[in-house]
Amino acid sequence: MAQNPIVDQEHFTEFMTVYAQICLAWQLVEQNIYFILCSLVKSAAPTPVVSAVYHSIINFNTRLDAVDASMKMAFRGNAKLQEWEELLGNIFNCSKHRNKVAHSTIKVHHNRGEHTFRLAPSAFDVREEHDVDYTLGQMRGWKREIFDLAQRISEFGVSIDAGGTLIFHRDIYFPNQQPIVGQ
């Protein structure tokens, strides 16, 4: 592989790895939320029908509202509802990190002769303040938070018998990595 002429190769590799791992972890968050919805529907509808309904809702917050409304009906008066509401707050908080990754621009940051990648709001989005950029260290933190969230959603799904819920195997999703918690 050719050297990256802009930033150090080691930094480039780690930045792109963390970036990809955040995207993968968020995909697992959404898949587990889908499996929870499947278990809540409890109808004779085959999974492709539930999938069509779930994925036709384009906006993530609206999709989550649909799952939340289903949880409130299915678990009214049950302690699981409070657990879900706490999880829901965590999902909304982590979705902000996901949005930063998905909607930011990768830029080169110059500091005392060192060049590193950072994420910055799109230069073309006039709604955003452009004096903020996000470092690799911040992205590592988001990765931990999103991965841990995906795992908690999976465990919650198991606790309500959401049969398709994914169980995490760190070595499959993040091979050759140090443990994410406490990193």
Q: What is the 3-state secondary structure (H, E, C) of 65-131?
A: HHHHHHHHHHCCCCHHHHHHHHHHHHHHHHHHHHHHHHHEEEEEEEECCEEEEEEEECCCCCCCCCC
pTM: 0.82
Give the model's pLDDT for residue 8.
83
Give 173's pLDDT tier (boundaries 50, 70, 90).
low
Q: How many CB atoms lie within 10 A of CB 32?
A: 26
For 21, 68, 73, 161, the CA distances from 57, given in Å and listed in that order, are 25, 14, 20, 24
Cβ atoms within 10 Å, residue 124? 7
How far, rounded to the nearest angstrom, does the alpha carbon of residue 159 sit from its chain's CA centroid? 21
Q: What percent of the chain has pLDDT over 90?
A: 48
Q: Which of these, 169, 180, 118, 176, lies nearest to 145 by C-alpha position? A: 180
Residue ranges covered by each domain of the chain:
9-173
Contact 153, 87 (CB under 8 A): yes
pLDDT tens readout for residues 71-122: 999 999 999 999 999 999 999 999 999 999 998 888 888 887 888 899 988 7
Q: Which of 3-12, 38-47, 97-106, 174-183 has the highest mean pLDDT?
A: 97-106
pLDDT at 87: 97
